Structure 1
């Protein structure tokens, strides 16, 4: 019974932490005279990706590669479908031009890079598929390129948002504390949810791969869900979408980069189908984003239907 109690406590930490975190991060964006989309792509996405990073790195250290890889792939699919879909239904998501032209395509590029590095049997004729240490270092180099781009965009747009910063009555100290407090709540809540949900899943007799793709990935993605939904409710649509795009990039390049740099990750053949689906959904989101530069309620319903169908498929497949 205690695992269920701690699961509920984890949800409470996640919800309240996300509320504080979005408030603090959006105010810091104004103080820095940086567009909200940049904060969503960096601070918010890195913060909400911390549960994935923790779980995947621990899984790699414990030689549970299927949990590590399944966690990232499952989390990204969850983010692209259920999180974006739910946030879009609450409040239509405005899509910045740069997001359509560069950020979402970069997410697609990272996904293609993942497919390439895990295809050792097909591309090199080896007996098994692995994400090696050198592959992990390549991912981290890709992350450096992405972060350099984000910083360049932030500096370029800094002056354009100076008036917005002056119009908001906010202080540095208060918002730094609020942001740190919110991030701490998100991390603690994510850890409580993941550890206890995983324990419940194992008690139900689920396989390691299915656990990684479902319970663990959903648990580690709850910060993204709660943060994006909270941002949508506050009509901070740039943070809502930027959080997802940034989180998916961090999940592949940072989480898998660090995990595979620690120890090579063996690839279960079943997850290729999941990676193909992740690529397809990324393309679908890109197409949706180009329609009047917004993701509305109709597109949100379609994305949620995608996730429901995917859940049914992997449960039956297992």
Structure 2
């Protein structure tokens, strides 16, 4: 028990340092290239913070554990909006650009909707079972290609202001910071998940509940820490871009590759979790559209966190 707690603390420490290095490195890259922090957040930072989900899902796919693979992604995406943006807004109100409201938030919602339609074979066409097939995986990867193409275009004509007042480091230092940050996020996240699962099992918590809560929370900690650090530093573009980019990468890339490796059986009970993710995306859209100055303020951030707490209570009661 004591060893697991020490490992958990070590994982959190590595995670914090990794998040800080990644934000610093990404901001430097944005400043050097003259592109916005938001675009960097949607690509470099989002991919880096999706690594824990990616590794967990690849392992789950090879072991045939589809429940963990799909639950991890759906749970993580819900956490990313309700908990990550919620806490970031509680630290400091988060600004949202108009193009984010028009395109990035709907794209994140689209990811959840596409997953719902591809996975629900029983519900939509009367099949005997539902499965996320290899063809579905290719479809998800095609959506990822569209998203990356849009990101490339937006980098050329982006309304988001380029990063300023950023310490410009030498190229190799920036590269090492990004690689070190991504590595820290991955290894820190893995230590946290492994130790949390061990602690949960000691208390007799079911594997299903562990997958929906501990694993999802553990793999979302990089997004939480990275966005919290970005919000604290006043870089709201990275805080929002990190979450939206990570959600899109999680569905289109992580689940796409996972289902290509091995088709993933889908259980209808997971639809509730997908609907919660959709609801969270819709609320984010409404708050960003109607809030003064397109801000997610502390009151709305608190509401996000409260909804997430209610969601966790629901999972515990229905596990």
Deviation at 1:133, TM superposition (A): 0.8
Residues in 2 aligned to 1:167 and 1:273: alpha-carbon distance in whole angstroms: 43
Where in structure 2 are the equivalents of 1:109-188 lying within 5 Å?
A: 109-157=110-158, 161=162, 169-188=168-187
Structure-2 residue corresponding to 1:316: 317
1:194 and 2:187 aligned? no
Where in structure 2 are the equivalents of 1:169-318 lying within 5 Å?
A: 169-290=168-289, 291=291, 292-318=293-319
User: Secondary structure in 1 aligned to 2:268?
Assistant: coil
Residues 165 and 288 from structure 1, CA distance in 2 versus in 1: closer, same or farther, beyond 3 angstroms?
closer
Where in structure 2 are the equivalents of 1:62-73 lying within 5 Å?
A: 62-73=63-74
After TM superposition, the runs of 4+ consecutive aligned structure 1 residues lying more than 6 A away are none
Residues in 2 aligned to 1:165 and 1:293: alpha-carbon distance in whole angstroms: 21
User: Secondary structure in 1 aligned to 2:200?
Assistant: helix
Deviation at 1:3, TM superposition (A): 2.2
Residues in 1 aligned to 2:60 and 2:166: alpha-carbon distance in whole angstroms: 46
Verify the 8 A CA contact 2:32 2:168 in the aligned structure 1. no
Verify the 8 A CA contact 1:66 1:208 in the aligned structure 2. no
Deviations 1:101-153 (A, max 9, x none): 10110111111000001111111111211111110110000000000000111
Residues in 2 aligned to 1:207 and 1:100: alpha-carbon distance in whole angstroms: 39
Residues in 1 aligned to 2:171 and 2:187: alpha-carbon distance in whole angstroms: 24
Deviations 1:15-59 (A, max 9, x none): 111111111111111111110000111100100000000001101
Where in structure 2 are the equivalents of 1:1-20 lying within 5 Å?
A: 1=1, 2-20=3-21
Verify the 8 A CA contact 2:38 2:160 in the aligned structure 1. no
Structure-2 residue corresponding to 1:90: 91
Deviation at 1:202, TM superposition (A): 3.3
User: In angstroms, what is the RMSD of aligned CA positions?
Assistant: 1.7
Residues in 1 aligned to 2:70 and 2:167: alpha-carbon distance in whole angstroms: 42
Structure-1 residue corresponding to 2:106: 105
Greater shift, 105-114 or 203-212, is seen at: 203-212
1:46 and 2:47 aligned? yes
Deviation at 1:165, TM superposition (A): 5.9
Deviation at 1:210, TM superposition (A): 2.0
Residues in 2 aligned to 1:158 and 1:280: alpha-carbon distance in whole angstroms: 27
Corresponding residue pairs, total:
316
Residues in 2 aligned to 1:98 and 1:159: alpha-carbon distance in whole angstroms: 9
Verify the 8 A CA contact 2:36 2:160 in the aligned structure 1. no
Unpaired segments ≥5 residues, structure 1: none
Unpaired segments ≥5 residues, structure 2: none
Greater shift, 1-10 or 261-270, is seen at: 1-10
Greater shift, 13-22 or 197-206, is seen at: 197-206
Residues in 1 aligned to 2:183 and 2:156: alpha-carbon distance in whole angstroms: 28
TM-score (normalised: structure 1): 0.95
User: Secondary structure in 2 aligned to 1:270?
Assistant: helix
Verify the 8 A CA contact 2:93 2:298 in the aligned structure 1. yes
Residues in 1 aligned to 2:60 and 2:52: alpha-carbon distance in whole angstroms: 12
